[in-house]
Structure 1
Amino acid sequence: MPLGGLSVWAKYEIGDTRRYVATMGPLATGPEVRGAVADTLTHGIMTKVEAGRLDGELRQFVREAARSFTSTPAFRTAWDTANRAAHDAVLRALRGERDDAVTLDLAPVTQQLRDRLAEDRVPLAHRIPVTHTEITVLEGREVAALRKGFRMLEFASFWLPVAALALAVGGILLAVRRRRAIIATALGAALGAALLALATAVVRALTLADLPPHVSRAAAAAVYDALTSTLRTATWTILALGLTVAATAWLTGRVARHRARSAEPPPARAREERRARA
């Protein structure tokens, strides 16, 4: 069941460009992503500009302008466009055969930012070159490592949930004591959900701990949390549902046994009834 839930999430949440862009869209208004994008744009621009004594002043202007630009509708449009392009590139890499690195080009965003700086009469804004400033989304070795796992999850996204449901229903129908089978199945589902929630948290910690120094930890955490939001919601829902079903089945069993004992006649009365019948 944990692998089934993970495969469904990978197929319909991560593997769907429309849903991916919709999930990532709200991050464009968050301070973590806005700050990381502003820092990346500022660094990319300043490495291309020779400002001399005006370097510090220009850097400050560019940083403030970049930060201001990330609050505009134009940036949100560029953000969605960039994420859509990056997601398409990642899916092509994972579903293809080549192990090339996946990169994202920031040239369109740089162009809009330069126009914004020129309108604000920032010194040397016209000298900012609009070059292909690329961000590496996935390294080549990461593509090769992720491809097999992603393909397996895509294949299993249908069969694993169906198999888990069939085994659960079949086990309950074939069980001699079905109430106990329902309790065991519900507890098993809850345990599986708990393991998946734990794995999600562990992977989050490992991912953030393994980031390169230049990558914003806050932005990466925001992205990870957004992407796994549906998965975490599903795991906690299954966990709560499993515990509820198990508790309900156990309580109804207790009530049924109590009623059965209450309906039985006392031992003395039962002996008298047997003598009368004899």
Structure 2
Amino acid sequence: MNDTSPTTSRSTSRLRAVISALMIIVALILAPVASVGTWARVQLVDTDQFVATFAPLADDPAVQTFVADQITDQINEQVDFKQIIGDVFAGIAEANLPPRAATAIASLEAPAVAGIQSLVASTTQRIVASDQFAELWEESLRVSHKQITALLKDQPGTALQVSNDGTLSLELGPLIDAVKQRLVERGLSFADKIPVKDRSIAIVHADSLGLARVSYQIAVIGGYWLPWLALGLLIGGILVANRKRRAVVISSIFFAIIFGLMTMGVWIGGNIFVFSVSPNPLPSSVAHAIFDQVTAMMDSTLRALTFLGVLVAVVAWFAGPSRPATATRSVLGSGFASLRGALDRAGGDTRGFGRFLDKNRNVILIVAIALGMAALFASRPVTFTAITWLVIALIVVAIAVEVLRRPEGESESVGTEKESQPPTVDPANESSRASESTDSGKADLYDDSDVAVLSRNADTEAEGTVDGEPADK
């Protein structure tokens, strides 16, 4: 039975290593998918977040200029201003004006056409830059949100439309109608002749929306639960591992690498997107603005998760047996021990509670990290601010545990330190006491007869003899 015990132990160890590796690998594979699914869920499923993402585009100068130019071009295509002004001047010419007056009026026909076109362009630009356009944009976003998420439905009459082939476009009908009403208010009755047709601007083509479709399906299926599954597999794989600290370091390094590569992928994808849609149908400035606005949350989340992976790997490495880690822990341990001793001498001994913290220190720190990570993922998307607060909270907990814990025997050693120290002695007093004790000792050793004998011997030595014998003998 004893012969098979080592074999069984090795088999169990190998099984644990295999299970741990599989769980960590699956977790690392699911992590990027979960992050994209969470982003898709927040951006596409949540109406308020969807509006908050796209609404600021209405205030972007590049987008405003692009939309205003498109509206102006649509109006110029639908309304023949040259024909309208020509009819007006032809009517004037039929009034039998003098030749010089007729010639002068005819010369004003071309400037009148240009002036009307300029008036339409400036009016359109002011409308697009006004709060009215921003409100219309936001309202249209809310109305068409279901279309964006489904990518199949068609709801005419809204500013944003998604066709059956997956092309996201901006409907110009409501905006053209707003320009038309403004021109009529300014006394330009010909504006009533501007037809309001279903004209649109293609913002993103179907090829560019492929990732959005996949992301939406992921969001619907597992945008909420997939991150928890990945986190559970990662924690479970670390707990099953034979060398837990090493598993934490390795998995954190790969975690940081994966999300670092995804961050680079977003940047590369942005350049590809801009290149694919510029200059037609979108100028590069507008394409950049749209892509940056849509992916801003994902980009910040990926950067934050990359930083989180690096942070966990560094902390786990410093918890290991390396020389820098050991030296750092030694210095911090001595500092906290001195601090605890000072607190105990000042009456701050935590006694039983401190001994409880000392016995369960590792468990408390692990629970704090687990709760912090759970709170971090629950408050998705993960941001630098959230990670910073998590790090600060964990540092505060670790410092509090180190200050309040009381290892066995530490309090007793501090309490008996004063008793074991020798009394303080003043060197000057000690010297005087030593001389007094010497003199008194001499007085006790010799009586009066002994003093007389010592005195006679001293005199004999002075004459060169000792007890009657020559000194050289």
Give the TM-score band, short-chain normalised: 0.7 to 0.9
User: Could you say if the C-alpha distance between residues 251 and 113 of structure 1 is closer, same or farther in structure 2, counting changes exceeding 3 Å?
Assistant: same
Query: Which is worse superposed, 240-249 or 42-51?
Result: 240-249
> Which one of the candidate residues 212, 223, 244 is aligned to 1:178?
244
Distance 1:260 1:122 in 2: 81
Q: Does 1:30 align with 2:44?
A: no
Residue 160 of structure 1: how far off its partner (Å): 3.1
Q: Does 1:109 align with 2:109?
A: no
Aligned pairs (5 A) from 1:18-57:
18-52=48-82, 53=110, 54-57=112-115
Distance 2:225 2:152 in 1: 21
The equivalent of 1:267 in structure 2 is none
Q: SS of the residue aligned with 1:135?
A: strand
Q: Which amino acid aligns with 2:68?
A: A
Q: SS of the residue aligned with 1:214?
A: coil
Distance 2:153 2:205 in 1: 15
Q: Which amino acid aligns with 2:254?
A: G
Distance 2:166 2:146 in 1: 13
The equivalent of 1:204 in structure 2 is 270
Q: Does 1:228 align with 2:295?
A: yes
Q: Which amino acid aligns with 2:40?
A: A
Aligned pairs (5 A) from 1:257-268:
257-258=326-327
Residue 246 of structure 1: how far off its partner (Å): 1.2
Residue 26 of structure 1: how far off its partner (Å): 1.8
Q: Which amino acid aligns with 1:90?
A: I
Residue 146 of structure 1: how far off its partner (Å): 5.8
Query: Which is worse superposed, 162-171 or 119-128?
Result: 119-128
Q: SS of the residue aligned with 1:233?
A: helix
Cα-to-partner distance string for 1:165-203 (whole Å, 9 max, x where unaligned): 122101211122222111112212211211221121121
Q: Which amino acid aligns with 1:36?
A: F
Larger radius of gyration: 2
The equivalent of 2:98 in structure 1 is none
Query: Highest relative contact order (Cα 8 Å, sep 6+), 1 or 2?
Result: 1
Work out whether residues 101 and 139 of structure 1, in 8 Å CA contact, stay in contact via their aligned partners in 2: yes
Q: SS of the residue aligned with 2:201?
A: strand
User: Could you say if the C-alpha distance between residues 43 and 142 of structure 1 is closer, same or farther in structure 2, counting changes exceeding 3 Å?
Assistant: same
The equivalent of 1:187 in structure 2 is 253
User: Could you say if the C-alpha distance between residues 91 and 219 of structure 1 is closer, same or farther in structure 2, counting changes exceeding 3 Å?
Assistant: same
The equivalent of 2:318 in structure 1 is 251
Q: Which runs of 4+ in 1 moved over 6 A?
A: 140-145, 259-262
Residue 260 of structure 1: how far off its partner (Å): 9.6
Cα-to-partner distance string for 1:221-264 (whole Å, 9 max, x where unaligned): 111111111111111111111111211221232466448999xx
User: Could you say if the C-alpha distance between residues 63 and 205 of structure 1 is closer, same or farther in structure 2, counting changes exceeding 3 Å?
Assistant: same
TM-score by length of 1: 0.81
The equivalent of 1:8 in structure 2 is 38
User: Could you say if the C-alpha distance between residues 220 and 176 of structure 1 is closer, same or farther in structure 2, counting changes exceeding 3 Å?
Assistant: same
Distance 1:147 1:165 in 2: 25
Q: Does 1:119 align with 2:185?
A: yes
Cα RMSD after superposing both structures: 3.0
Identity of aligned residues (%): 26
Distance 2:210 2:254 in 1: 34
Aligned pairs (5 A) from 1:67-106:
67-94=125-152, 99-100=164-165, 103-106=169-172
Q: SS of the residue aligned with 1:158?
A: coil
Distance 1:65 1:221 in 2: 26
TM-score by length of 2: 0.50
